[in-house]
Chain A
Amino acid sequence: MWVFPALVLATLSSWLLGIEDSTSTSIGCAVVAIALIKVRLVGLHFMELRNAPAALRGAFEIYVVITGATLLTLYLVL
């Protein structure tokens, strides 16, 4: 059961990164990337999608990738 400690650790590290009064783009992107990694952990382990048929798991993975890529692009470009 490493998933829950990993999620808590990721939450705390992004919190520490985020409350720093810094407006750097790289920190913003790191925080977003951590969030999407957490989403993937919750989906694969808590929602048990890693044991789901390829189509469902694939749909979820595509969701994570597209959401993450879109958000990172928006933060980098705008």
Chain B
Amino acid sequence: MTATAAETEHSAPQHHRHIPGEPGLWIFLLGDMVMFSVFFGFVAVLHGRHPMMFRASQRALHPDLGLLNTLLLLTASALVARGLRQLRSGIPARTLPWALLCALGFAAVKGIEYALVIHDGHTPSSNDFFMYYFVFTGIHLAHLAIGIGALTVLIVLSRRPALSRGKLLVAEGAAAYWHMVDLLWLVLFPLFYLVA
């Protein structure tokens, strides 16, 4: 099967079947995602058991800030995906710092939302909704902090003239990690903010 021109834009050019990053990294990524699925399950169970409390507590969140954060992460992810393709074909990936800016923006917005929610008198010990909200989004924020490190690695690598096979694997791994941060938020956001 030969890749068409349209396909090569997205895919790794050298192989038809290619594992992004080191194979072993996927143990960590998929494992982390499974752990978050358990978190999602806890939120769903809480919603089912205490729908009134869930709904009332949910009103204290700021869905507009959540939406803004989702868009920031999606933009960062799109920039990283594009940057990685440019990196592979040796084109300077100039847009990667914007992805980093989006990531920092997410952290800032999350901080603002935490401050607003706490200012309104809601803390992790208020009820189970806020406990899950603060703990699970907090663990996600910790992942984002590591993701900022991954983006920095990606930017540093993009400044080099040509990447060796090993460095390219590092770049792919950093990008895959970043996409996982985005992917996990894509579920956390509707579960906490949208599902009534």
Direct contact between A and B judged by beta carbons closer than 8 A: yes
Select one of A36, A51, A63, A77 contacting B18, CB under 8 A.
Answer: A51
A interface, size bucket: 35 or more
Chain B residues whose CB sits within 8 angstroms of the CB of A22 once the complex forms: 196
Interface 1/0s, chain A 47-78, versus B by CB < 8 A?
11111111010011001001100110011011
Contact A45/B10 with A39-B183, A63-B37 known, Cβ cut-off 8 Å: yes
Task: Tell me whether A34 and B10 are in contact (CB under 8 A).
Answer: no
Q: Which of B17, B63, B180 has the most CB of A within 10 A?
A: B17
Rounded to whole Å, the gap between the CB of B70 and the closest CB of chain A is: 5
Task: Tell me whether A35 and B77 are in contact (CB under 8 A).
Answer: no
Task: Tell me whether B182 and A42 are in contact (CB under 8 A).
Answer: yes
- A1-32 interface with B by 8 A CB criterion: 1, 3-4, 7-8, 11-12, 14-15, 17-19, 21-23, 27-28, 31-32
Dominant secondary structure at the A interface: helix
Rounded to whole Å, the gap between the CB of A11 and the closest CB of chain B is: 5
Task: Tell me whether B194 and A70 are in contact (CB under 8 A).
Answer: no
Chain A residues whose CB sits within 8 angstroms of the CB of B20 once the complex forms: 47-49, 52
Cβ-closest chain A residue relative to B17: A53
Q: How many A-B residue pairs have CB under 8 A?
A: 135
Which residues of B come within 8 Å of A, CB atoms?
Answer: 9-12, 15-20, 23, 26, 30, 33-34, 37, 40-41, 44-45, 47-49, 51, 55, 63, 67, 70-71, 74-75, 77-78, 80-81, 175-176, 179-180, 182-183, 186-187, 189-191, 193-196
Task: Tell me whether B19 and A56 are in contact (CB under 8 A).
Answer: yes
Cβ-closest chain B residue relative to A23: B196
Contact A46/B182 with A31-B195, A35-B187 known, Cβ cut-off 8 Å: yes
Chain B residues whose CB sits within 8 angstroms of the CB of A70 once the complex forms: 37, 41, 44
Q: How far is the CA of A32 from the CA of B189 in the complex (A)?
A: 10
Task: Tell me whether A77 and B194 are in contact (CB under 8 A).
Answer: no
Select one of A7, A34, A52 contacting B190, CB under 8 A.
Answer: A34
Select one of B11, B23, B179, B190 contacting A32, CB under 8 A.
Answer: B190
Q: Which of B17, B26, B195 has the most CB of A within 10 A?
A: B195
Rounded to whole Å, the gap between the CB of A26 and the closest CB of chain B is: 11
